[in-house]
Structure 1
Amino acid sequence: MPTAPRPQTTDELNQALEENDRRPYGRTRTVTAEELVEAAEQFAEPVPLINALLELQEAYTYGSEPRKSPVVFARLLTLFDEQPDVFDARMRHLLFWRFKWVAGALRALPEMPLTSQRQWLTEMRSRYEKAGLGLQPYYGQAYQLAAHTGENTAVAYELWAARTRTQLSDCEACEICERALFHLAAGDDKRALRAWEPVLAGKESCQEEPARSVSHALLPLLRTGSVEQAVDMHLSGYRSCRRNPSMAGEVGRHLEFCALTGNEARGLELLAENRNLFDEVDSPLDQLDFLTGVEVLLQRVEHLGHGDLPAAGYSGRTWTVADLRAEVRGRADDLAGRFDTRNGTTARSDVRRTRLDRAPLLDALELTLRVRSLDDVAAAAPATTPSAAPTPRTTAPVPDSLPELILGARELDHQGHPDARACWERLRTLHTARGYTHPDDPAVGPLLLLRADLLADEANRAGERDEYTDAADLHEEAAGLYEDAGAPAHAALSRACALLATAEIPAEGDGAAEAKAAELTAAHASMVRLCEETPGLVPELEARLLRLRATALGLRLQASGSEEHAASVLAEVALLHEFAARHDNDGQVSGALLLRASTYAISGDLPGAVAEIDGLLDRLKAHGPAWHVPRTLGLRGRLQLGLQEPQSAHASLSEAVRLAAEWPLGTVDTARLHADLAGACMHMGRHDEALRHLTRSAEQDLRRGSRTEAFCTYSNAAQLSLDLGRVEACIALLDSVLAEPDLVAGEVDDRLVAQLRLTRARALYAGEDLKAATAEFVALAAESAGWDDDPGSHAMIAAETAVLLGESGEFDQARKVADQALAAHAQDPRFEQISSCLRELARTQAQQQGADGLPGARAFLAEAGKVADEARAAGYESRDRSLDTALAYEHGRVNAYAGAYDDALASLDRALALLGEPGTDEDRAGEWAECVRLAGAVQGIYLERPAPALARLDSAISRLTALGHTAEAEPLTALAGRLRDEQ
Structure 2
Amino acid sequence: MPTAPHPQNTDELFKALQENDARPYGRTRTVTAEELVDAAEQFEEPVVLVHALLELQEAYTYGSEPRKSPVVFARLLTLFDEQPDLFDERLRHMLFWRFKWVAHALRQLPEIPLASLRQWLTEMRDRYERADLDLQPYYGQAYQLAAHVGEDTDLAYELWAGRTRTRLSDCEACEICQRARYHLRAGDDERALRAWEPVLAGKESCQEEPARSASYALLPLLRTGRTDRARELHLAGYRACRRNPSMSEEVGRHLEFCALTGNEARGLELLAENRNLFDEVDSPLDLIGFLTGVEVLLQRVEHLGHGELPAAGYAGRTWTVAGLRAEVRGRAENLAARFDARNGTTAQSDGRTARLDRAPLLETLELTLRTRGLDDVAPAAQVAAPAAGTAAAVPDPLPELILRARDLDRQGHPNAQACWARLRTLVAAGDYTHPDDPAVGPLGQLRADLLAEEASRAGEKDEFADCAARHEEAAALYEEAGEPGHAALCRGSALFAAARIPTQDGDGAEAKAAALTAAHASLVRLHEETPGLAPYQEARLLRLRATVLGLRLQTSRNDEHIAPVLAEVDLLHTFATRHDIGTQISGALLLRSSTYALSGDLPAAVTEIDALLDRLKAHGPAWHLPRTLGLRGRLHFGLRDAQTAYDNLTEALQQAADWPADAISTARLHGDLAEACMHLRRPDEALPHLTRSAELDLRRGSRTEAFCTYSNAAQLTLDLGRIEDCIALLDSLLAEPDVTAGEVDDRLVAQLRLTRARALQAGEDPKAATAEFVALAAESAGWDDDPGSHAMIAAETAVLLGESGEFDRAREAADQALAAHARAPRYQQLSNCLRELARLQAQQQGPDGLADALALLADAGRIADEARAAEYESRGRSLDTALAYEHGRVNAFAGEYEDALAALEKALALLGEPGQGDDHADEWAECIRLAGAVEGLYLERPAPALTRLDAAITRLTALGHTAETKPLTSLAARLRDEE
Report the TM-score range of the alignment, normalised by the length of the smaller protein: over 0.9
1:439 Cα offset (Å): 4.0
What is the DSSP-based 3-state SS (H/G/I as helix, E as strand, rest coil) of the residue aligned with 1:112? Answer: coil
Instruction: Pick closer, same or farther for the CA change 1:498–1:917 going to 2, 3 Å.
Output: same
What is the DSSP-based 3-state SS (H/G/I as helix, E as strand, rest coil) of the residue aligned with 1:364? Answer: coil
In structure 1, what is the equivalent of residue 675 of structure 2?
Answer: 679
- State the alpha-carbon separation in 1 of the partners of residues 432 and 293 from structure 2: 49
In structure 1, what is the equivalent of residue 308 of structure 2?
Answer: 308
In structure 2, what is the equivalent of residue 604 of structure 1?
Answer: 600
One of 570, 573, 591 as aligned partner of 1:574: 570
Which amino acid is 2:824 matched to? D
Residues 507 and 513 in structure 1, CA contact (< 8 A), matched pair in contact too: no
Instruction: Pick closer, same or farther for the CA change 1:83–1:295 going to 2, 3 Å.
Output: same
- State the alpha-carbon separation in 1 of the partners of residues 327 and 166 from structure 2: 45
Instruction: Pick closer, same or farther for the CA change 1:837–1:88 going to 2, 3 Å.
Output: same
Say if 2:353 is the partner of 1:357.
no
In structure 1, what is the equivalent of residue 760 of structure 2?
Answer: 764
Say if 2:727 is the partner of 1:726.
no
Moved more, 867-876 or 283-292: 867-876
- State the alpha-carbon separation in 2 of the partners of residues 533 and 44 from structure 1: 99
Residues 889 and 907 in structure 1, CA contact (< 8 A), matched pair in contact too: yes
Which amino acid is 2:512 matched to? K
What is the DSSP-based 3-state SS (H/G/I as helix, E as strand, rest coil) of the residue aligned with 1:406? Answer: helix
1:171-570 mapped onto 2 (5 Å cutoff): 171-378=171-378, 381=379, 384-385=381-382, 394-434=390-430, 436-506=432-502, 512-570=508-566
- State the alpha-carbon separation in 1 of the partners of residues 30 and 165 from structure 2: 32
Instruction: Pick closer, same or farther for the CA change 1:632–1:796 going to 2, 3 Å.
Output: same
Residues 393 and 418 in structure 2, CA contact (< 8 A), matched pair in contact too: no
- State the alpha-carbon separation in 2 of the partners of residues 484 and 338 from structure 1: 71
- State the alpha-carbon separation in 1 of the partners of residues 78 and 504 from structure 2: 76
- State the alpha-carbon separation in 2 of the partners of residues 437 and 197 from structure 1: 68
RMSD across aligned C-alpha pairs, in angstroms? 1.8
Instruction: Pick closer, same or farther for the CA change 1:350–1:511 going to 2, 3 Å.
Output: closer
- State the alpha-carbon separation in 1 of the partners of residues 329 and 475 from structure 2: 58
- State the alpha-carbon separation in 1 of the partners of residues 111 and 721 from structure 2: 49
In structure 2, what is the equivalent of residue 150 of structure 1?
Answer: 150
Which amino acid is 1:599 matched to? T
Which amino acid is 2:23 matched to? R
1:94 Cα offset (Å): 0.3
In structure 2, what is the equivalent of residue 627 of structure 1?
Answer: 623
- State the alpha-carbon separation in 2 of the partners of residues 703 and 515 from structure 1: 31
Residues 393 and 419 in structure 2, CA contact (< 8 A), matched pair in contact too: no
1:300 Cα offset (Å): 0.8
1:510 Cα offset (Å): 9.6
Which amino acid is 1:215 matched to? S
One of 639, 656, 662 as aligned partner of 2:652: 656
What TM-score do the two structures reach when normalised by structure 2?
0.97
Say if 2:57 is the partner of 1:57.
yes
Residues 390 and 665 in structure 1, CA contact (< 8 A), matched pair in contact too: no
Which amino acid is 1:22 matched to? A
1:957 Cα offset (Å): 1.3
Deviation readout 1:193-243 (Å, 9 max, x if unpaired): 111111111111111111111111111111112111111111111111110
1:502 Cα offset (Å): 2.3
Say if 2:698 is the partner of 1:702.
yes
- State the alpha-carbon separation in 1 of the partners of residues 199 and 276 from structure 2: 28
Which amino acid is 2:528 matched to? E
- State the alpha-carbon separation in 1 of the partners of residues 266 and 507 from structure 2: 46
One of 686, 689, 693 as aligned partner of 2:685: 689
Instruction: Pick closer, same or farther for the CA change 1:52–1:159 going to 2, 3 Å.
Output: same
1:887 Cα offset (Å): 1.0
Which amino acid is 1:947 matched to? A
1:433 Cα offset (Å): 4.3
What is the DSSP-based 3-state SS (H/G/I as helix, E as strand, rest coil) of the residue aligned with 1:44? Answer: coil
Deviation readout 1:325-375 (Å, 9 max, x if unpaired): 111111111111111111111111222111111111111111110001011
Moved more, 445-454 or 918-927: 445-454
Instruction: Pick closer, same or farther for the CA change 1:15–1:391 going to 2, 3 Å.
Output: farther
- State the alpha-carbon separation in 2 of the partners of residues 340 and 435 from structure 1: 55
Which amino acid is 1:546 matched to? L
Moved more, 714-723 or 557-566: 557-566
What TM-score do the two structures reach when normalised by structure 1?
0.97
Instruction: Pick closer, same or farther for the CA change 1:923–1:91 going to 2, 3 Å.
Output: farther
In structure 2, what is the equivalent of residue 977 of structure 1?
Answer: 973
- State the alpha-carbon separation in 2 of the partners of residues 359 and 76 from structure 1: 48
In structure 1, what is the equivalent of residue 961 of structure 2?
Answer: 965
Residues 395 and 419 in structure 1, CA contact (< 8 A), matched pair in contact too: no
- State the alpha-carbon separation in 2 of the partners of residues 635 and 51 from structure 1: 71
1:652 Cα offset (Å): 2.4
One of 936, 944, 960 as aligned partner of 1:948: 944
1:81-120 mapped onto 2 (5 Å cutoff): 81-120=81-120
1:724 Cα offset (Å): 0.5
Which amino acid is 1:358 matched to? R
- State the alpha-carbon separation in 2 of the partners of residues 391 and 12 from structure 1: 69
Deviation readout 1:884-933 (Å, 9 max, x if unpaired): 11111111111111111111111111111111222234541110111111
- State the alpha-carbon separation in 2 of the partners of residues 636 and 929 from structure 1: 49
- State the alpha-carbon separation in 1 of the partners of residues 749 and 576 from structure 2: 48
Residues 787 and 821 in structure 2, CA contact (< 8 A), matched pair in contact too: yes
Residues 507 and 515 in structure 1, CA contact (< 8 A), matched pair in contact too: no
Which amino acid is 2:463 matched to? E
- State the alpha-carbon separation in 2 of the partners of residues 436 and 335 from structure 1: 51
- State the alpha-carbon separation in 1 of the partners of residues 687 and 502 from structure 2: 31
Deviation readout 1:41-73 (Å, 9 max, x if unpaired): 111221001011111111111111111111111
Say if 2:800 is the partner of 1:800.
no
Deviation readout 1:713-747 (Å, 9 max, x if unpaired): 11010000000000000000000010000000000
Moved more, 100-109 or 459-468: 459-468
Residues 569 and 591 in structure 2, CA contact (< 8 A), matched pair in contact too: yes
What is the DSSP-based 3-state SS (H/G/I as helix, E as strand, rest coil) of the residue aligned with 2:920? Answer: helix
- State the alpha-carbon separation in 2 of the partners of residues 440 and 179 from structure 1: 77
The list of structure 1 runs, each at least 4 consecutive aligned residues, that deviate by more than 6 angstroms after superposition, is 507-511
Residues 395 and 664 in structure 1, CA contact (< 8 A), matched pair in contact too: no
In structure 2, what is the equivalent of residue 71 of structure 1?
Answer: 71
Deviation readout 1:288-332 (Å, 9 max, x if unpaired): 111111111111111111111111111111111111111111111
Moved more, 710-719 or 407-416: 407-416
- State the alpha-carbon separation in 2 of the partners of residues 794 and 360 from structure 1: 48
Deviation readout 1:510-549 (Å, 9 max, x if unpaired): 9822333333333323323333332112211111111112
1:644 Cα offset (Å): 2.7
1:435 Cα offset (Å): 6.0
Residues 917 and 959 in structure 2, CA contact (< 8 A), matched pair in contact too: no
One of 726, 750, 753 as aligned partner of 2:749: 753
- State the alpha-carbon separation in 2 of the partners of residues 700 and 140 from structure 1: 53
In structure 1, what is the equivalent of residue 775 of structure 2?
Answer: 779
Alignment gaps of 5+ in structure 2: none
What is the DSSP-based 3-state SS (H/G/I as helix, E as strand, rest coil) of the residue aligned with 2:168? Answer: coil
In structure 2, what is the equivalent of residue 615 of structure 1?
Answer: 611
- State the alpha-carbon separation in 2 of the partners of residues 144 and 538 from structure 1: 83
Which amino acid is 2:755 matched to? T
Residues 633 and 653 in structure 1, CA contact (< 8 A), matched pair in contact too: yes
Deviation readout 1:740-767 (Å, 9 max, x if unpaired): 0000000010000000000000000000
- State the alpha-carbon separation in 2 of the partners of residues 619 and 267 from structure 1: 48
1:27 Cα offset (Å): 0.7
1:403 Cα offset (Å): 3.3
What is the DSSP-based 3-state SS (H/G/I as helix, E as strand, rest coil) of the residue aligned with 1:536? Answer: coil
Which amino acid is 2:239 matched to? R
Residues 809 and 848 in structure 1, CA contact (< 8 A), matched pair in contact too: yes
